[in-house]
Amino acid sequence: MNRPGLRLPGTRASLLLRRASCPAAPFCLCLLACLFPLPAAADELRMKDGQVFSGEILGTDGITLTFRRTVGAGQAQIPYPLANIQEVRFILSAEEQALLTSGDPKDLPAAAALWERRRPYLALKASDAGAWALQAVRLSLAKKTKKAAEEAVKWCAEVEKGDWSEERRAQAARLRLSALAAAGKAEQAIAEAEKLQNASSADESALASARVQARLVKADLAATQLAELEKEWPKWDQMPEMRRQREELLHAALDGFLFAPVFHPELAALAAEGLWKASELGEKTGRTTEARTWLQEIVDWFPEPTFKTRAEERLRALEKARQPAKEKRP
């Protein structure tokens, strides 16, 4: 919803304010500047006719986008038809940047709320709407509930269909399969993953990406099945058959997560995601040394923004957890 304030039709300052015929215009502009100050960091609109405006994106009604920008000596809220806009660039606050890389499921409501606000801009070039949708998806999957996974499937489908970014559409396609598996539709997820893995394409890069994504989906499924086995059989380590099944699932999951960094390091985003998930699974299964190694590899070799900050924070937490043990040694 647009914020209240002066709403002036058109785009040219001389026509908008009619300064020549309005003696009070300078006073009004000063008043506007006091009432509606622009942020230090500005959002940006790039129009199809080549014009570029800096200011603040306030909202949209689905037909126009309301943008606050400097007009003369003050600011005005101006509606621009969405059909005339080429690109929109949102400037993130420090809090929003932290939220976009958070791995804490408690941040899901905030991420989902930002995705709701950005949704109308999904198809506009340079918009970060899809990034917020996928962050909400990751946090939903981290909750490990069927309801959250079902919501994640819907969000992925929206991004897969409507995002301007081809890379994010591909990410959404894979995350949707992971969400399907988490929502209890494992057979459908596996069938679609098999299609990805067996796809043929003249574009070797696209083929490699599809196969890596399929491996990640299967690894996610193996990790889910591993967690279910441990929950259903808490004394699995005393049961040879359960112990064997657990080892198979663990190796299947780790092999899938580590496939990209080992065989396709050129796919940096997928490699970083695989290492992150391997480190999570390593911690859960008592392989903290390997987990630290995989986290450090993200920082050193695959510093993707989505995972680098998380990896650094997790490394600090693991190191802090080791300190008491070191201090107790004689």
- Interatomic CA distance for residues 176 and 276, integer angstroms: 18
- Residue 149: pLDDT band by 50, 70, 90 thresholds? very high
Instruction: Work out the average pLDDT over 118-147.
Output: 93
Instruction: Work out the average pLDDT over 249-256.
Output: 97
pLDDT of 22 above 60 = no
- Residue 25: pLDDT band by 50, 70, 90 thresholds? very low
pLDDT of 292 above 50 = yes
- Residue 203: pLDDT band by 50, 70, 90 thresholds? low
The domain 197-330 is placed in CATH, from the list 1.10.1740, 1.10.10, 3.40.390, 1.25.40, at 1.25.40
CATH 1.25.40 domain locations along the chain: 197-330
pLDDT value of residue 129 = 96
Mean pLDDT across the chain:
83
pLDDT value of residue 264 = 94
pLDDT value of residue 326 = 53
Residue 73 and residue 26 in contact, taking contact as beta carbons nearer than 8 Å: yes
- Residue 171: pLDDT band by 50, 70, 90 thresholds? confident
pLDDT of 296 above 90 = yes
DSSP 57: E
pLDDT value of residue 140 = 94
CATH 2.30.30.100 domain locations along the chain: 13-89
Top pLDDT among 326 and 76 is at: 76
Q: Which residues of 90-111 are buried (b: 16+ CB within 10 A; e: fewer)?
A: beeeeeeeebbbbbebebbebb
Fold of 13-89: SH3 type barrels. (2.30.30)
Instruction: Work out the average pLDDT over 81-90.
Output: 94
Residue 148 and residue 155 in contact, taking contact as beta carbons nearer than 8 Å: no
